[in-house]
Structure 1
Amino acid sequence: MPGEPNKRQKREEYRKLLSVDEQKAALPKKKFYRQRAHANPFSDHSLTYPVSPSEMDWASHYPAFVAKNETSGSVQSHPQESELAIQKIFRNVEIADIGCGFGGLLFALAPKFPETLLVGMEIRTSVTEFVQEKIRALRHQNLNTGLYQNVACLRANAMKFLPNFFAKGQLSKIFLCFPDPHFKTRKHKARIVSMTLNSEYAYVLRPGAIVYTITDVEDLHNWMVEHFVEHLSFERVGEQEQEEDMCVKIMTTETEEGKKVERNGGQKFVACFRRLEDPPWPGE
């Protein structure tokens, strides 16, 4: 006897019941995209990633921001070679939600920053597909307003390949929302915050940029605070400035994990860190 259909088969069956127009505008249903909460960042996930930021095809993710009649690299003499050249966008991605989950933060921030490009980076296949499908649906629903053209989601392992996507000083904000706590001491090396990873965040962030962190695990909160404060490229944002930051307010209420903590009466621990100016080289 054939087994029970898997989630992918079920969502394909669901789509077949919709008309063509309904398919374009229909928001995806989470029950068809559920996946285990965390993935091993050290595993080989058969990911594709650009060899450098200049080789990243952002145009396919932000078609509304494609620079017209421009392609990267030198002009090719052969027309087929020219067609294969990477299209450029006229605005760089500036906000990254690392481990974006089902995209609640992205969809809340996108209308607040309509002229800023946001990207979610998620390692889980089904969850990434959910966010991408929701982006497609919301863009179709908002054809007249142009909303959500500035948001995209990539399947990526930021712990391994962050500098492959972003150039030095490109980002203005990074969000680390409810990351895997990796409770066991031997698993701490897999935490999304470490002195090594903080150096990568410092590389892709411009001076004055902010890293936003939130968790419901106090031990992990203390770990993140300790590692960012000890890093020479960051300083902790003061409480008053943090409380007045619109992004903090959205971050505490709009993620799926944040809503779950709220329902369970749990506590949320928030800390923000500012990227400092690099000190001058000796002799400058």
Structure 2
Amino acid sequence: MPGPPNKKQKRQEYRHALKQNVTTGMPKKKFYRQRAHANPFSDHRLSYPTKPDDMDWSIFYPGFTAQATEEETSSPKKLTKDIEVVDIGCGFGGLLVALSPVMPDTLLVGMEIRSQVAEFVQDRIKALRAKDSEQRSYQNIACLRANTMKFLPNFFRKAQLSKLFICFPDPHFKQRKHKARIVSTTLNSEYAYALRPGGIVYTITDVENLHEWMVQHFEAHPSFERVPEEEQEADPCVGVMRTETEEGKKVERNKGQKFVALFRRLEDPEW
């Protein structure tokens, strides 16, 4: 006689039942166990397009999928509008869910490298859409498992994005690990490539040293300038970013500090 299912089997059975619509309600984090961090330099066997036009976003945004013509049936289905907002390392999707009603006419995507966490956010979005099917809410958000340190330009064209969020990234405290930080001279050039002039990078962390690192690297980059504090505090996205992410709520419970900095994409100079 087989014994009772172990924890791994219970997680698998729960997620299978959720996909078969046997389980109702919102997904539960305990059934999506995952390590807190993932090595961005490892081979995670990810699927990614060779160029942005090869990406089929229709499976993520069915409510914004354009009607294909006969000539387009063999190519990826097009969306009625472009994705404009990216949450890098979106975690459990708190920011995406909170921003969805704030920016109802804008497409947002979260990019998360951890497989179980990305699956949780995808199931969370499906549950929210099903719950508010009559209002057609949360059709403008999606989550994709991806490694943005390697493949961001594979998904987005030059100057496609208007906002890019980096919320509570892994601080990688040890100096030999600083090369894995999500903000660096090289990566900032990729963010500048994907952002349109006037676009904003939003950063928040509870680690002051990391905050100083991000400010230093963005201010040193010729494509960015720091947004003045008065303008920063007037941005409604900043308030959402401070309070709605899972890490932000944890910092709030522990009465920790939150360090915020915004950076605007400058116009390219005339060569």
Asked if Structure 1 and Structure 2 have the same fold, meaning a TM-score greater than 0.5 normalized by the shorter chain, the answer is yes
Q: How big is the shift at 1:68?
A: 1.0
Partner residue, 1:250: 240
Indicate the SS of the match to 2:231: helix
Q: Deviations over 1:118-173 (max 9, x none)?
A: 00000000000000000101111111111100000000000000000000000000
Amino acid at match of 1:42: F
The alignment-based identity, stated in percent, is 66
How many Å separate the matches in 2 of 1:99 and 1:15?
Answer: 22
Which secondary structure state, in structure 2, belongs to the residue aligned with residue 88 of structure 1?
A: coil
**Equivalent residue for 2:188, pick from 195, 198, 221:** 198
Q: CA deviation at 1:85?
A: 2.3
Match of residue 5 from structure 1: 6
Cα distance, 1:12–1:184 mapped onto 2, change above 3 Å: closer
Question: Would the alpha carbon gap of residues 26 and 234 (structure 1) be closer, same or farther in structure 2, given more than 3 Å must change?
Answer: same
CA distance in 2, matches of 1:215, 1:228: 15
Mapped pair 1:35 → 2:34: yes
Q: For 2:16 and 2:243, how far apart are their aligned partners in 1?
A: 34
- Establish whether residue 101 from structure 1 lines up as the match of residue 91 from structure 2: yes
AA partner of residue 51 (structure 1): T
- Alpha carbons 1:70, 1:87 under 8 Å: kept: no
Could you tell me how far apart the structure 1 residues matched to 2:18 and 2:220 are? 54
Uncovered stretches (5+) of structure 2, i.e. residues with no partner: none
| Partner Cα distance (1:176, 1:190) in 2 | 14
RMSD (Å) for aligned C-alpha atoms = 1.9
Runs of 5+ unmatched residues, structure 1: 76-81
CA distance in 2, matches of 1:95, 1:143: 23
Structure 2 CA distance for partners of 1:146 and 1:274, relative to 1, 3 Å: same
Counterpart in 1 of 2:139?
Answer: 149
Q: CA deviation digits over 1:244-268, x for unaligned, max 9? A: 1100000000010010111111111
Equivalent residue number for residue 79 of structure 1: none
Q: CA separation in 2, counterparts of 1:18 and 1:254?
A: 25
In structure 2, what is the Cα distance between the partners aligned to 1:193 and 1:15? 34
Q: Which segment is superposed worse, 187-196 or 26-35?
A: 26-35
Q: Does 1:261 align with 2:251?
A: yes
**What is the rounded CA distance, in whole Å, between the counterparts of 2:87 and 2:114 in structure 1?**
14
The TM-score, its normalising length taken from structure 2, stands at 0.94
Q: 1:21 to 1:190 in 2, by over 3 A?
A: closer
Question: Is the CA contact (8 Å cut-off) linking 2:15 and 2:31 kept in structure 1?
Answer: no
Residue 89 of structure 1: SS of its match in structure 2? coil
The 1:93/1:19 distance shift into structure 2, 3 A limit, reads closer
Counterparts of 2:254 and 2:187 in 1: how far apart (Å)? 31
Matched, 1:125 2:124: no
Tell me the CA shift for residue 35 of structure 1.
1.3
